[in-house]
Structure 1
């Protein structure tokens, strides 16, 4: 009933939002003398704040139109090259002619990077800045996960094993030699996928796998979310966190972990910070500080956009990753077969953690090195970024200036230009034209 109450509340407030929005436009109009007064600006700011508190935030657009290479602008086209009901694989295709011009000779084959976005409440667009950082020197692909409330029940279920199958299929599409990066939640399933592919001698093995702030083994340096998962019985999550998607959503009757519940957890963890941010936003509006007000809008338009997770995926993740630690203990099963990270021998491994990460504590990501015990030491790299929290691991100034350069140097150790050129030639429609499925 909670999901139905949430939808009803949103619908009930719709007329009031329209009235408040009309008042806001009237109060902000340059033809209204009140817009130049403190009282008028305060009233308009209050209307703006009400609207931001009560509206539903849609999935943000990527909005990546170009990148810069050698001081030249290269146009970017967003292409779907593979899709299934719960995920699309996007390629941020760089204009090939402009790329040749910027490099003044034949196009140098750039490493392919697959960003596996977290499926933990936010949309993949949360990694927009990560994508932008890699675009100048890489062919960038990303998993764009679907909102479970928008997937009809007829499309079937989606659990952690399906997630692993999706990763394997995507790596098959991209072919041998790409660099897969699992950011936060995807760490365990990406590791399981590469282990499964290694044991079966897949010809599409990635060159490297990088895990950033990932819960590989949450028994190490447990954080508040880890402790909550351990303190409550599995049945508590099943009884209190799962609800039925109501009409008129496309996924009506599907059982999900609602995004708005996940968002409430995010906000509760840093409640004081969010209250302060909105208070400052109100003051910026009253003062007419448009730049800072827009920065606030840009951040919260992304932060408050959330998606639902399927019941089976959420509960299996709680049980296997956060309560029973099956991958870390060597007991995780995929399609009836034991997942064996020790089978990985030909894939480079890099882990990145944040010194102040309050979601995935120090050591949780590093555990991948212990599990992948047969990767040669010279093909492994562990890095802890000082002074950053969870999001600073994969975005922000320190990511761009300190983390990304180290990742690129690590990738370069495994870079084979002949392999990349061969891939481009054999997959010309996918690489240049962006074939859609």
Structure 2
């Protein structure tokens, strides 16, 4: 082992760091986290963030250590513009970005809100251009609008990220012409590869990033969705090809199946790839995810990686002593590293070790025979409930057996 896959906080596969595995990687020296919860995350059906909600989430994101906050789209409503303006005024630390269309009025709104930069969206995918925007854009008018907007925004002193959405469904010759024309006639600060429909594989993403880098001599960013459950994997693949900024949303919020989850991507890049995030407070991840769960009203799946209830909940009795003394023999990373707590629950899968541990924690003494009786009763109760027993239910059951 080389010391990266095994630390005091995690123990992951050593094969991640094997030279043969990594020899074709082009990992950047630094990866920045661009969080889009306040814009793309709010596009989750049924989610509405108030001005105060947006300010609170922005404060949490700044505190945990993201590099950029996509604070919204000023054109959506006056309330959105007011929230962005207030977030920008607070000088929280991260760069404040806003979402803009290829039009000067949107750039003016960004300036008025005090934003540091814009995410300039315009389509590139064939399905969007053929069926959704066929009456609006030709290749020439699209290029011209993007170029003019970028130049206008740069004249206003804004950072510009060009966001040709639906990139993964763009025809490659068209995409290369578009990117070449735009970057030859304007000066965006970066270009994003956008998997709008979450429909590219990891290898497909690596190929596409390489193709974009052939015609764009700028920092590349990546924005992925999770329609095939690949959002995190395709983001990792993009970073393997040198992408320097990753977009994410807290709890994987976003349209349809959501965006790449902030908590998954930052932990994975740190532990699986060895990428440093010196200012990121990993131990605040659980608190961040839980507060956004409440604000958004969207419940997390219990088995959600990093943030869910089940990743550090253990019902199986086997290995309980090991879990207590060497938790990384069971878990890939420690619960307290991400601000979680380990939870031992009792039910059908419980055994002598777990029962003895629960009794000891409650200050209850029992003989070996009594422990065996409690194990049997616990299993029966778990089967009858079709779930685990809460601590008070287990203690009541144990005391009943001990007093019989």
Q: TM-score, structure 1 length as denominator?
A: 0.28
Q: Which has the higher strand share?
A: 1
Q: RCO (CA 8 Å, sep 6+): is it higher in 1 or 2?
A: 1
Higher Cα Rg: structure 1 or 2? 2
